Amino acid sequence: MGKQIVVTRSVPESALDMLRKVGAVHVCPQDRPLTVPELHEAVRGAHGVVTMLHDRIDADLITAAGPQLQVVANVAVGYDNIDVPAVTERGVTVTNTPGVLVDATADLALGLLLMVTRRLGEGERLLRARQSWTFHLGFMLGTGLQGKTLGIVGLGAIGQAVARRARAFGMDIVYTGRGRAPAEVEAELEARFLPQHELLRTADVVSLHCPLTEQTRHLIDESALAAMKSTAVLVNTSRGPVVDEQALAKALREGQIGAAALDVFEREPEVEPALLELDNVVVAPHLGSATTETRTAMAELAARNVVAVLTGNEPVTPVRP
Ligand code: DGY
According to DSSP, the residues that pair with 262 across neighbouring strands are: 236, 283
Residue 304 alpha carbon to ligand 1 centre in Å: 18
Same domain, 41 and 61: yes
- C-beta 101 within 6 A of ligand 1: yes
pLDDT of residue 78: 98
Residues 109 and 124 occupy one common structural domain: yes
Task: Report the CATH number at residue 228.
Answer: 3.40.50.720
Distance, CA of 91 to CA of 269 (rounded, Å): 32
152 and 40 within one domain = no
- Indicate if ligand 1 lies below 6 Å from the C-beta of 289: yes
Q: 66 pLDDT exceeds 90?
A: yes
- 262-287 pLDDT per residue, tens: 999 999 999 999 999 999 999 999 99
Give pLDDT, residue 1: 66
Task: Specify the residue with its C-alpha closest to ligand 1, atom 6.
Answer: 76
Do 187 and 265 share a domain, yes or no? yes
Residues 136 and 66 grouped into a single domain: no
Task: Give the total number of structural domains in the chain.
Answer: 2
Alpha carbon of 299 to ligand 1 centroid (Å): 12
**What pLDDT shows up at residue 132?**
98
Taking the whole predicted model, whether its pTM rises above 0.95 is answered as yes
Return the best residue to mutate from 74, 289, 305, 317 for the ligand 1 pocket (most ligand atoms within 8 A of CB).
289
Residue 317 lies in a domain: no
Residue 191 and residue 188: Cα distance in Å, rounded?
8
Whether residues 88 and 108 share a domain: the answer is no
Domain range for 71: 4-98+292-310
pLDDT digits (tens, 9 = 90+) for 84-102: 999 999 999 999 999 999 9
Residue 28 and residue 156 in one domain: no
Question: For ligand 1, is residue 299 a contact (CB within 6 Å)?
Answer: no
The reply to whether 249 and 143 lie within a common domain is yes
> Per-residue DSSP letters for 199-228?
HHHH-SEEEE-PPP-TTTTTSB-HHHHHHS
Instruction: Indicate which residue of 286, 295, 300, 304 is catalytic.
Output: 286
- Could you tell me if 106 and 87 lie in one domain? no
Considering the domain architecture, whether residues 169 and 279 belong to the same structural domain is answered as yes
